[in-house]
Amino acid sequence: MRLIAILAFLLSFNTAWAQSTPEDPRGYAVGAVTGSFLPLGILGVKDLLPLWGVRLGHGFRRTQFEYVGTAAQAKGVTYYHGYFSLRNPVTLPQALFIGHWFIGLDYHTWKRKPTAIFKIQFPFRYATGWHIGFGGRMPVTEKFSLRGDFRLGFSPGQQLNVLLGFEYLWPSLD
């Protein structure tokens, strides 16, 4: 896995693989996401959970810095998740959408459901981790886009997030 992350980082500097395009402006972005959270190996979190969240971003050269916060509360489990990503666009010839890949750091806090027999309440647990992912953005208007992401997280356990949402873009003020 480390090899894939290192190769993806190195390939982002190759202009044939990652280019800043007029369709991917270097301004600011705000959006909302919804989707599914599939955990594996997280203590007390065993089921697929619906989640929702917000996304904020700003650009720097070819890279977009993104800050995302999500929450899931279902099946007796409360799960909060925040992460920081470095997103790089990928030029896809004659595509309806603008592709991207990202890598970043995570912060997780969760509370597992109480036990069935003794109704024991568990405290919140905390963990940090990292993630990689890919996705695409389909412009609807000049400033409004639909967006989808697949995010694979590591530690605690492993997580797969399938996210759909929208993004509102505006150019930088410089």
151 belongs to a structural domain:
yes
pLDDT 10s digits, 103-133: 999 999 999 998 888 888 999 999 999 999 9
pLDDT at position 3 is 47
pLDDT at position 124 is 97
| CA atoms 139, 145, 148, 152: torsion sign | positive
62 belongs to a structural domain:
yes
152 belongs to a structural domain:
yes
pLDDT at position 125 is 96
**CA–CA separation, 100 and 90 (whole Å):** 5
pLDDT at position 9 is 52
Task: Give Cβ neighbours of residue 28 (< 8 Å, ≥ 6 apart).
Answer: 56, 57, 58, 59, 169, 170, 172
15 belongs to a structural domain:
no
pLDDT at position 14 is 40
Determine the number of helices (DSSP H) and then strands (DSSP E) in the chain.
1, 8
Low pLDDT (below 50) residues in the chain = 3, 7, 10-11, 13-23
- Domain of 45 in residue numbering reads as 26-170
pLDDT at position 4 is 52
Distance of CA 99 to CAs 40, 43, 132, 167, Å? Answer: 27, 34, 14, 14
164 belongs to a structural domain:
yes
Q: Please give the tally of structural domains in the chain.
A: 1
pLDDT at position 53 is 98
Ramachandran bin of 138, using left for φ above 0, alpha for ψ from -120 to 50, beta for the remaining angles: beta
| CATH number, residue 61 | 2.40.160.20
70 belongs to a structural domain:
yes
Mean of all residue pLDDT scores within the chain: 86
